[in-house]
Structure 1
């Protein structure tokens, strides 16, 4: 379920320092019942996944369209992402946290940045946007709540237009299906909430 941005911004996350020039685009609660002990396993599963393998046919279709548009319009070409158009946020990660996240799977568009006991961050950059996927786990209501925040730095007017154009698709199809999928996958780790 989508939650207010304040659910993310009011917490003292490391990502606020690392991505201080990014905007919070979306914050979603994942009905997963994770604990601090199971959080790293869930992160590893996410990092090794492929977004185009979603059980949701609509999500798979939208990702396929996006990847095809990216190829056609060269949005994802070398030089359009980190190390090209933008510098990687890995340079801002504290030295002691470098190398902490699990490696991304070959189909993942994200590059992991760091993993702590209660947060994980990965980045992606292309011709439209430089984005961060942030997962967190927080004690709440006698258990823990797992949230996903998406932080972005659009690439100029075109990037802002692109983000506005895909917003209805993210809210109606992509994120709700992803939250259900992650909640189902991760609930096998044992709910405490």
Structure 2
């Protein structure tokens, strides 16, 4: 379920001090009910999930089209990524976050993990269109339990990046995110 921006902005997440100049693009409640110690399970699920391969055909088709266009337009060249076009946010991490675990051993591509705390995890990626952060958090659900929350923060790369982000927004809201939210909830229930 999509949440108001305040579900992210009113909390004292460490990501605010690191990516304060990024735009908050999305905030989502995840269908991942659990207890106070289940956050590690959620981070592991994100790194080993089956997205987009396990998604419905429209999602897989959009994903394949995006990577095909990205290849043709050079959107994902190494020269437009982290530590080439933009510096990694790892350089902005306060000393106490530099030594935190970054996540499980699984491959996070296309994201690069930044830090992981007891209730907060962040990973970044960059390409020709933007520098983005996926922020996963573990929050109280108001009913005595906990659930995951995902925020997406972006810094578009100039006019081209802003136009691109605006162009893909309807696809994200109508096709990608609903399928992703269902998949996250389904995988959470399956892994029990």
Question: What TM-score, normalized to structure 1?
Answer: 0.91
Q: What is the match of residue 32 of structure 1? A: 32
Question: 155, 158, 161: which is aligned to 2:157?
Answer: 155
The answer to whether 1:65 aligns with 2:75 is no
Equivalent residues in 2 for 1:118-129, closer than 5 Å: 118-129=119-130
Root mean square deviation, CA, Å: 1.8
Over 3 Å counting, the alpha-carbon distance change for 1:104 and 1:86 in structure 2 is farther
8 Å contact kept, 2:47–2:108: no
Change (3 A) 1:51 1:82: same
Count of residues paired in the alignment: 190
Q: Any residues of structure 2 matched to 1:32-181 within 5 Å, and which?
A: 32-49=32-49, 51-98=51-98, 100-102=101-103, 105-106=106-107, 108-141=109-142, 142-181=144-183
Specify every segment of 5 or more residues in structure 2 that has no aligned partner in the other structure, as ranges. none
Return 5+ residue gaps in structure 1 as ranges. none
Offset at 1:44?
Answer: 1.7
Report deviation, 1:96. Answer: 3.5
* Cα distance in 1 for residues equivalent to 2:39 and 2:25: 23
Q: CA deviation at 1:54?
A: 3.2
- 2:186 corresponds to: 184
